[in-house]
């Protein structure tokens, strides 16, 4: 496999490993804010770094059309947060590993079309990320706006502060996740402008 930018691939792998080690790992077990930091890194930081470093890794994911890949990614993320798996993973190491791998899988599903020029044109990539921004941020908004703690494990740890912790975690995912996606959108817009400039400058 050709690695076009080994520094980006190495950075993505290093960040993924650091995310599941202390102190971030311990923070994620005692606070939803820590979990959301971990979550955003696994879905929105690691996959873009890895795919930027080794774009060929995106090819096997062509099996899913881009819209289906996006909604499959969202289904994984929503299913974990509003199903029994997330709560159980806070007390089980194997389930915890499964959740982290699921977040990575969701991130790769979502970002693979952006780094595979044979799947989407420059303009389509812009539209794809523009659509993904509110869809990914909405989960954070739901957690932020909920008036009852959703996770008993964090209630046991945080006590009366569990709701505030949940709202802060939701706000981080809502605002922070949207900011990361917007940064990606702007980079794609810049690349699209460069692409159009090269076409305009090409001899007839």
- What are the pLDDT digits (tens) for 111-132? 999 999 889 998 999 999 999 9
- Predicted pLDDT at 32: 96
User: What b-and-e string marks burial along 162-183, b requiring 16 or more CB atoms within 10 Å of the CB?
Assistant: bbebbbbbbbbbbebbbebbee
pTM, 2 dp: 0.92
User: What tens digit of pLDDT does each residue of 163-202 get?
Assistant: 999 999 999 999 999 999 999 999 999 988 887 787 777 7
Mean pLDDT of the residues in the chain: 93
Interval 18-26 mean pLDDT: 93
Q: What pLDDT is attached to residue 59? A: 93
Task: Please answer whether residues 113 and 71 qualify as being in contact, where contact means their C-beta atoms are separated by less than 8 angstroms.
Answer: no
Kindly state the DSSP code that residue 1 receives in the 8-state scheme.
Answer: -
- Out of 2-6, 67-71, 130-134, pick the least confident: 2-6
Q: What percent of the chain has pLDDT over 90?
A: 86
Whether 2 shows a pLDDT value over 80: the answer reads: no
CB atoms closer than 10 angstroms to residue 142: 16
**Taking 70 as the threshold, does the pLDDT of residue 142 lie above it?**
yes
């Amino acid at each position: 496999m050709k690695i076009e930018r080994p520094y980006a691939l190495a950075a993505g792998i290093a960040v993924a490993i650091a995310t599941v080690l202390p102190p971030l790992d311990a923070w994620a077990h005692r606070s939803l804010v820590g979990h959301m930091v971990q979550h955003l890194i696994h879905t929105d930081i690691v996959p873009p770094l890895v795919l930027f470093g080794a774009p060929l890794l995106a090819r096997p994911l062509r099996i899913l059309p881009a819209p289906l890949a996006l909604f499959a990614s969202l289904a994984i993320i929503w299913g974990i947060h509003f199903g029994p798996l997330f709560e159980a993973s806070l007390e089980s190491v194997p389930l915890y590993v499964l959740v982290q791998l699921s977040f990575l899988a969701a991130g790769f599903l979502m970002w693979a079309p952006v780094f595979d020029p044979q799947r989407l044109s420059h303009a389509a990539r812009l539209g794809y990320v523009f659509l993904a921004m509110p869809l990914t941020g909405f989960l954070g908004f739901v957690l932020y706006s909920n008036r009852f703690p959703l996770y008993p494990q964090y209630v046991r740890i945080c006590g009366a502060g569990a709701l505030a912790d949940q709202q802060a975690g939701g706000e981080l995912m809502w605002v922070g996740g949207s900011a990361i996606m917007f940064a990606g959108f702007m980079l794609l817009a810049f690349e699209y402008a460069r692409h159009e400039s090269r076409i305009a400058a090409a001899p007839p």
